[in-house]
Amino acid sequence: MGETITLLSKREIEKMRRAGRLAAKLLDHLAPMVQPGVSTLDINDEAEKWTQAHGATSAPLGYHGFPKSICTSVNHVICHGIPNPKQILQEGDIINIDVTPILDGYHGDTSRTFFVGNPSPLAKRLVEVTEKCLIEAIETVKPGSRIGDIGAAIQECAEPQGFSVVRDFVGHGVSNIFHTAPQVPHYGKRGKGKKLRTGMVFTIEPMINEGTWEAVILEDGWTAITKDGKLSAQFEHTIAVTDSGVEILTLPD
């Protein structure tokens, strides 16, 4: 990731809005498939089919050699889980589905963590807190605020609940390039870091763990799991800094 932050024009942000809406609709489309007995490859294949049918391509497919169209991260997988025909969803699992369709050259990047059937009260609380972390982080965004404000809001939301914030992966600038500046850590100090300006577009994607924040990368070079084998949840939106504050670009209509 270069350090140069590109400010997007209104025309470019409109393209990002269209790609983001498509990404949100893709997650809505996949949601009913999240059932016990369904494989993560089934979800991947439906995502690829739907993406192509809507005139878009899947950014993850082939990205630095990533073998599938989406990421499916189940239970103790923090992120970048690879869809697999042998990975069958079980009652009580949680799964993060991360999608990035490219529409007209621009990336819509979003993820949600879904319940498979009825998870434990602890799993539900982790997922609910993680979504709240994302909302509270987005609420800090406006021209003149700082990148550190985003991470601080996430820590202030997660840590009093006894959960931890993953350090190894960050949000990122996104446009017609998948990953670009700025990097957006999910931990930080208020008033520190780069100043936000109108036209900046980036993801906020907190990964919150039940236990330690530490991650281990598996031998496939992609799958990141919690070091202690405990649960992890994630939510992600792509947002734009506007004159008046912030716009979430990855919402359905």
Residue 98 marked ligand-binding: yes
Q: At residue 2, does pLDDT exceed 90?
A: no
Q: Is residue 112 a contact partner of residue 179, using CB atoms and an 8 Å limit? A: no
Q: Is residue 23 a contact partner of residue 237, using CB atoms and an 8 Å limit? A: no
What pLDDT, on a 0 to 100 scale, did the predictor assign at position 1? Answer: 47
Residue 205 marked ligand-binding: yes
Q: At 150, which helix (H) or strand (E)?
A: helix 147-158
Peptide bond before residue 182 is cis, with ω within 30 degrees of 0? yes
Taking the CA atoms of 22, 123, 228 and 155 in sequence, report the sign of the dihedral they define: positive
pTM of the model: 0.97
Task: Give the pLDDT confidence of 107-159 residue by residue, as tens digits.
Answer: 999 999 999 999 999 999 999 999 999 999 999 999 999 999 999 999 999 99
Q: Is residue 23 a contact partner of residue 109, using CB atoms and an 8 Å limit? A: yes
Q: Is residue 57 a contact partner of residue 35, using CB atoms and an 8 Å limit? A: no
Residue 237 marked ligand-binding: no
Residue type, 123: A
Residue 179 marked ligand-binding: yes
Residue 236 marked ligand-binding: yes
Sheet architecture: strand order including 215-217: 77-79, 224-226, 215-217
Task: Give the pLDDT confidence of 191-236 residue by residue, as tens digits.
Answer: 999 999 999 999 999 999 999 999 999 999 999 999 999 999 999 9
DSSP 83: P
Q: Record the tokens describing residue 26, joined without a space.
A: 């893709």
What pLDDT, on a 0 to 100 scale, did the predictor assign at position 253? Answer: 78
Task: Give the pLDDT confidence of 60-80 residue by residue, as tens digits.
Answer: 999 999 999 999 999 999 999
CATH 3.40.50.1820 for domain 10-248, yes or no, is no
In angstroms, rounded to a whole number, what is the distance separating the alpha carbons of residues 58 and 51? 7
Q: At residue 3, does pLDDT exceed 90?
A: no
By CB neighbour count within 10 A (0-12 exposed, 13-18 middle, 19+ buried), where does 219 fall?
A: exposed
Residue 109 marked ligand-binding: yes
Residue 107 marked ligand-binding: no
